[in-house]
Homo-oligomer: A and B are copies of this chain.
């Protein structure tokens, strides 16, 4: 009985770029599925934990370090042979923190999640699952903190929600719900930008990921 599969970690990295939810893809150079776009990932070296490997991959690709990272699913048999398993993660990053490494041959780039090309392996399905989970968790967790800077206006937070959900929200109800659910709190500071009343800055009460 054999038991020495290859183990890969795969990370779906999401950000709001140009007012749309986008995912980071890289161009595959090696076989199989060479030439197709795919999620960044790599073989696990058994020296670090799986979470560390996923975090490292994320930092390598984006330079971002204050992120939301969560495990999604582990699957086998993606690569025709069964002797490989893939541990999939997803991450939410603040687009302003990201510096893509454009020098590399695989040319990382952002793609809107609702305009994806046909990707390698089952990556399309994986991204769909991740997006579903993100949408579901928006309602009852602080998952959005990864997409925003440490301090933000309620308007910025609402824009993020609307981008992910794809539908507009009532401004007053949104503010009330965010505050009364103790998800965010005022920092006491405000930001002046333009010919109008300054906006209060808020922060997330907790930045620890909530699982379940």
Q: Which residues of A contact B (CB under 8 A)?
A: 1-7, 43-51, 71, 73-77, 82-83, 85, 87, 129, 132-133, 136, 211-212
Contacts and interface: CB of A to CB of B under 8 A. Distances in A.
Nearest to A44: B3
Nearest to A53: B76
Number of copies: 2
Contact of A2 (B5, B46, B73, B133): B46
Contacts of A212: 132-133, 136
Nearest first, the 10 closest Cβ-Cβ pairs linking A and B are A4-B4, A74-B74, A50-B76, A46-B83, A3-B43, A49-B76, A1-B45, A136-B212, A49-B77, A74-B87
Contact of A4 (B6, B47, B73): B6
Contacts of A75: 49-50
A172 to B, nearest CB: 27
Contacts of A77: 49
